[in-house]
Copies of this chain bind each other. A is one copy, B any other.
Amino acid sequence: MFTVDPSDPTPIYAQLDRGIRAAIAAGRLAVGDRLPTVRQLAVDLRVNANTVAKVYAELERAGLLATQRGIGTFVRAVPTPPAGSTRRDRERELKPLVERLLADASAIGISLHDVIQYVKTLEVRNAKENT
């Protein structure tokens, strides 16, 4: 479900945090879905349970997850754009993020074409699941 690369200098908890946010954004996790238990995910990722718990706690504080003591952790909300923002506003904010992605990708020899291909596969996966 999620992956983590221990050789990446990015802290493990930050990788997992991003992975979960991305999964929610991509619709791979829908509102109300239950996440793996802390201990199970720790085993799967070969990571300490405290590290997973820390991420769940942070995402709960951020309002994305809700935990029910003794039951489990669930997806609570999907961030929504600020009220009065237009399509143009959003594109203006999105541009630098995409540029950073493309710059980093090209630095490791991945072309714009490859990136587009990959992002499109996310769309397809998402559509399939919702069928």
Q: Chain A residues in contact with chain B, CB under 8 A?
A: 3, 5, 8-11, 13-15, 17-19, 21-22, 24-27, 48, 58, 61, 70, 78-82, 85, 90-91, 93-116, 118-120, 122-123, 126
Copy number in the complex reads 4
Which chain B residue lies CB-closest to A21?
B103
Return the contact of A95 from the options B3, B85, B97, B98 (Cβ within 8 A): B3
Residues of B within 8 A of A14 (CB): 9-10
Q: A22-B99, A22-B102, A91-B118 are in contact. List 17 more A-B contacts (CB 8 A).
A: A9-B11, A15-B96, A18-B100, A18-B103, A21-B107, A25-B108, A25-B112, A26-B112, A61-B61, A79-B109, A80-B109, A81-B108, A81-B109, A81-B110, A82-B109, A94-B105, A98-B115
